[in-house]
Structure 1
Amino acid sequence: MPKIVDHEERRRALAEALWRVIAESGPQAVSIRSVAAEAGLSTGALRHYFQTREELLTYAIDLSEERVTERLEEHARSLDPEMSLVDRVMGFVEQMLPLDQARRAEYRAWQATGDPDYLDPKIEHRWHQQRRLYRRLVAALGGIEPPEDPGPAHPDPWLESWSEFLHTFIDGLSLQLMTNPEQVDPQMALARLRSFLAHIASVRPPSGEGDRVHTTP
C-alpha cells in the first residue's frame, strides 16, 4: 500500500529546513540543493513542492508571517483586563522582535528580502501590513479610534508620525538583537520597548491639537 504523504506538513518541514540553512549560513546559502540536503530529501522530491529558490524563500516568509499573526491573535485572546494599557500594547509589539530561537530564525528568513538576487513579490504588502499594526497600537496608546480601513496613511499627523517612529524603533531594535546580542539581550530589549511605549502614551497632544505633532521620540 503506498505511503500517504501529508503535503502541507512536508512543505512546512521544508520551510523549517530552509530556516535552518539561513540560520547557519544566511539567505545567500539557500538553494534547492542545500535545502533538500538539510531536509533529508532528494532535489527531485523538493522540486515536487518548490520549483525554484524564489518559491522556497517566498513560502518561508509567508509562513513566518502566519506565525506572527497567530501569536498576535493568541495574545489578543488572552488579554488580561487588569493589565495596563502599555503592557497590553507591549504584548502585541514584542511578537515582532527576535526574542527567542524560533523568532530569530524567522528574522533571518525575512533578511532574504534584502537579497539582491531575490525579489519578494509581496514586499510592499508586508511593509504596509506592519505599518497598519503599528498605527492601531499607537492609536490605542493615544486614545484614538483607529479607522476600520487604516489605508496608506492616517489623517491624524500625531498618530502617523509616532507609527513611523515605532516602526523604525522595532526594526532597529530587532537588528541590534540579532547583531549585538551581548549589548542588547531580550531583557534589555523589552525594557527599552516598554519605556518607548510609555513615552508614546505620555506625549499624546490634547484633543483638537492633532496637527501639533510631537516629532521628538
Structure 2
Amino acid sequence: MPKIVDHEQRRLELAEALWRVIADAGPDAVSIRSVAAEAGLSTGALRHYFQTREELLVFAMRLAEARIADRVRARTAAQAPGETMVERVAGLAEQLLPLDETRMAEYRAWEAAGRLGEHDTDREHRWHEQRRFYRRLVAALAGAPVEDPDRAHPDARVEEWSEHLHTYVDGLALQLAVTPSVVGPDGVRARLRAFLGRVEAALARTGA
C-alpha cells in the first residue's frame, strides 16, 4: 500500500526547516538543496512542494504572519482585567518582535523574503495590514475605538502616532536582529513600554 503523505504538514515541516537554515547560517544560505538537506529530503522531493527558492520563502513568510496573528489573538484573550492599557498594547505589539528563538526565525524568514522583489506580490498588502494593527493599538491608548481599520482614523493624532509606533517597532526588531548583544529582549520590552507610555500621555494631553 502506498504511503499516505499529509502534504500540508510536509509543507509546514519544510518551512520550519527553512527557518532553521536561516537561524544557523543566515538568509543567504537558503537554497532548495540546503532546505531539503535540513528537512531530510532529496531536492526532488522538496520540488514536489516548492518549485523554487522564492516559493519556499513566500510560503514561510505567510506562515510566520499566520503564527503572529494566532499569538495576537491568544494574547488578546489572555489579557488580565487589572492590566494597564500600556501593558495590554505592549503585549500585543511585541508579538511582532524577535524576542525569542521562534520569533527570531520568523523575522529572519521575513527579512529573506523581503529581498524577493517582483516575486513577492504581497508587500504592500502586508504593510497595510501592519498599519491597521498599529492603528488599533494607538486608538486603544487614546480611548478612541477604530470603526473602520481600513481607513485613516478620524483623529489625525491617532494616525500620526500609528505611523510612529509602526516605525518604532520595526526599528526595535532590526536592532534585536542586528545587535542582540547590545539590545536584548528585556531592554526592548522596557523601551517599548516606555514609548507607549509617552504615546498615551501625549494623546491624553491633547485630548484624544
Q: Does 1:175 pair with 2:174? A: yes
CA distance 1:53–1:116, change in 2 (3 Å): closer
Q: CA RMSD in A?
A: 1.5
- Asked if the contact 2:75/2:92 (under 8 Å) is kept, the reply is yes
User: Which residue of 1 is the match for residue 128 of structure 2?
Assistant: 128
- Asked if the contact 1:113/1:123 (under 8 Å) is kept, the reply is no
- Asked if the contact 1:19/1:106 (under 8 Å) is kept, the reply is yes
Q: Secondary structure at the match of 2:119?
A: coil
- Asked if the contact 2:58/2:113 (under 8 Å) is kept, the reply is no
Matched positions, count: 207
* Offset, 1:80: 0.9
Per-residue Cα deviation, 1:36-87 (whole angstroms, up to 9, x for no partner): 1111101111111111111101100000001000000001111111111111
* Offset, 1:124: 0.7
- Asked if the contact 1:28/1:115 (under 8 Å) is kept, the reply is no
User: Which residue of 2 is the match for residue 162 of structure 1?
Assistant: 161
CA distance 1:77–1:34, change in 2 (3 Å): same
* Offset, 1:186: 0.6
* Offset, 1:152: 4.8
Per-residue Cα deviation, 1:153-177 (whole angstroms, up to 9, x for no partner): 3332101110011011001101111
User: Which residue of 2 is the match for residue 35 of structure 1?
Assistant: 35
Greater helix fraction, Structure 1 or Structure 2: 2
AA aligned to 1:106 is E
CA distance in 1, matches of 2:149, 2:17: 36
Per-residue Cα deviation, 1:122-141 (whole angstroms, up to 9, x for no partner): 11111111110000000000
Alignment of 1:1-217 (within 5 A): 1-115=1-115, 119-147=119-147, 149-204=148-203, 205-207=205-207
CA distance in 2, matches of 1:152, 1:45: 45
AA aligned to 1:194 is R
- Asked if the contact 2:54/2:116 (under 8 Å) is kept, the reply is no
CA distance 1:4–1:105, change in 2 (3 Å): same
CA distance 1:118–1:104, change in 2 (3 Å): farther
Q: Secondary structure at the match of 1:145?
A: coil
Report sequence identity in percent. Answer: 59
* Offset, 1:114: 3.2
Per-residue Cα deviation, 1:189-212 (whole angstroms, up to 9, x for no partner): 0000110011111011544xx6xx
AA aligned to 2:182 is Q
Taking structure 2 as the reference length, the TM-score comes to: 0.94
AA aligned to 2:17 is A
- Asked if the contact 2:32/2:52 (under 8 Å) is kept, the reply is yes
CA distance 1:117–1:160, change in 2 (3 Å): closer
CA distance in 2, matches of 1:118, 1:98: 26
Segments of 5+ residues of structure 2 without an aligned counterpart are none
Taking structure 1 as the reference length, the TM-score comes to: 0.90
CA distance in 1, matches of 2:177, 2:144: 33
Q: Which moved more, 1:110-119 or 1:129-138?
A: 110-119
* Offset, 1:27: 2.2
CA distance in 2, matches of 1:117, 1:162: 29
- Asked if the contact 1:15/1:56 (under 8 Å) is kept, the reply is yes
